[in-house]
Structure 1
């Protein structure tokens, strides 16, 4: 989220209050993406062993656990994000403040998947559902240019510090529930393709006047994905393309722009039960955010809302997996470092995923 995305502006205009709103607009989620408060419901980089392991009819349980940390917010030019603070006559002119963040997000995303022997259009049909448990912590800061305000320097900085402290905080709770239908095709030459049509509903803990929330907002997301897998004798390869289409948040009037994600994984066995490889992702927003100004206390505040500033980011890192008894259970760990971020945070994520066929 760009610091210029002031999605929920309904306040008296002052440098300190506007600075606080800029901070609020740059909050990060585990998926970190664009959209309202910086949140994207799809976790970039979550795809892993489920893309490079066979999928047979039956029940499956999967529990990805992620720890995400970021200390950077990148602007539209890929450099540290800044915020243009308007003037406060008669003593303080307009100025540019540096925007910083120190955030940690931890989440577990338990998922149940079922694939049936029934076929439709040549594919096995099934379903999947997931309810995340999320913990978010964020400390924000705005820094005025050194020595720019003479005797008012400490006063200006103290005001920015106070507002940043009000927005910073810690929350935990249940996230947004998702469910989807599955069509899985077994193709020739150890190849498979899987189509999942996911709907995400706003079940998570969310308050529109709170800057950190376990849920993303009172809106819905339709998220189709198409996955290709090659399970070979040497290398296993999987790639998933995901599109996220969002409705408008009924509590704020903000509509998060639609986003495209691509995840991939390349793995090879180095022993009978250990495999190693490479994991990566790309995420790019392809539609501007928008704001329904009728939700604002003062419609003139719409001038401070910048629609656009689309986000993007890439990630890459190593992965290692352990198979118990040839596939009775799989444990996978990976580290993904983000780079090339625009209008969002840039950090790193540690993932630990347990996958187990339930054999029912």
Structure 2
């Protein structure tokens, strides 16, 4: 099997608000950031002194891998990924002027079933852990705009990995994931949330492969029907902006990936601070990565 496509099928994700192995360009078409996860109250951090538990569940199914012009890229390809990613975030009582300070961690657990060129592999294991060493939060005086900057987020190479295996739950490199998230309520019933993320990778020394940098944007346009129910449209756009390299040379004309997705979302608020989100994302405009559909269930509650 061609070296570039070993492990290709982990086309999935998750982890919320920040977390798992997704499939874009870069080595084997994979990225560490679970693009598409941040589409609900993106800019909110727990209140000072509060700890929140989040959980992100995703089912991803792909029946094709697209090439550099969106054409069929790999014969007899399929990927099915189930991921559950618990996340803890604590906001400290100390602050830095008007900015709150928070830290957190995400530990994704994967089931990956991958088929490439008719060869199938299955792996169940922990993925690459994502840590939030320090996040800086801000709320305006009117309390209708919330934002935080997480400049030090990173994915650690903790997941299961073998360069000769098709299905892997880790990527065998350190990744830096700085991100900026916002939530704005222009009216009492309307929510506009956004996330901008960069993914910057170190080299995979088992394969001598250097993945290029990926930029991603996510959004939600939501409207509250009642105090309990919100409906919305959400999605993402992700594009690789620098080339992949193998043994120090540009690989497959850079092997730059791109993808976009749109879909509906429903949020139900159980009680103040406790909510469940269900959403669907259909991928399109895909290049150098798997093309499929994502189903998410996300929830959050305070400790």
> TM above 0.5, one fold?
yes
Q: Distance in 2 between matches of 1:140 and 1:222?
A: 29
TM-fit CA distance, 1:119: 1.5
Q: Which residue in 2 is equivalent to 1:134?
A: 110
Q: Distance in 2 between matches of 1:53 and 1:333?
A: 18
Residue 28 of structure 2: SS of its match in structure 1?
helix
1:244 matched to 2:199? The reply is yes
Name the TM-score, length of structure 2 as normaliser. Answer: 0.90
Aligned pairs (5 A) from 1:11-22:
17=1, 20-21=2-3
CA gap 1:121/1:288 in 2 versus in 1, 3 angstroms:
farther
What residue number does 2:101 align with? Answer: 125
Residue 159 (structure 2) pairs with residue 204 (structure 1):
yes
Out of 155, 165, 172, the position equivalent to 2:124 is 172
Correspondence for 2:299: 354
User: What's the CA shift for 1:353?
Assistant: 0.5
1:278 aligns with 2:233: yes
- For structure 1, the residue ranges without an aligned partner over 5 or more in a row are 1-16, 83-98, 142-163, 294-301
SS of the counterpart of 1:109? strand
Q: Secondary structure at the match of 1:37?
A: helix
Instruction: Tell whether 2:5 aligns with 1:29.
Output: no
**CA shift in 2, pair 1:323/1:206, >3 Å:** same
2-side partners of 1:322 and 1:54: how far apart? 19
2:237 paired with 1:292: no
Query: In the alignment, is the contact (CA less than 8 A) between 2:195 and 2:219 conserved in 1?
Result: yes
State how 1:199-278 maps to structure 2 within 5 Å.
Answer: 199-217=154-172, 219-231=173-185, 232-278=187-233
Query: Which residue in 2 is equivalent to 1:112?
Result: 88
Counterpart in 2 of 1:297? Answer: none
Return 5+ residue gaps in structure 2 as ranges.
13-21
From the two aligned structures, give the one with the greater helix fraction. 1
| Residue 69 (structure 1) aligns with | 61
1:32 aligned counterpart, secondary structure = coil
| Higher mean C-alpha deviation, range 184-193 or range 313-322 | 184-193
In the TM superposition, residue 140 of structure 1 has moved relative to its aligned partner by 2.5
Tell me, in whole angstroms, the C-alpha distance in 2 between the residues paired with 1:109 and 1:65. 6
Task: Provide TM-score, normalisation by structure 1.
Answer: 0.76
Superposed CA deviations along residues 81-116 of structure 1, whole A, max 9, x for unmatched, are 26xxxxxxxxxxxxxxxx241210110111000112
Aligned length, in residue pairs: 289
In structure 2, the CA distance between the partners of 1:183 and 1:23, relative to structure 1 (3 Å rule), is closer
Which residue does the alignment assign to 1:320? 266
Write the distance in 1 (CA, Å) between the matches of 2:69 and 2:92. 48
Query: Structure 2: how far apart are the matches of 1:324 and 1:244?
Result: 34
Distance 1:128 1:48 in 2: 19
Contact 1:37 1:211 in 2 (8 A): no
Which protein shows a greater Rg? Answer: 1
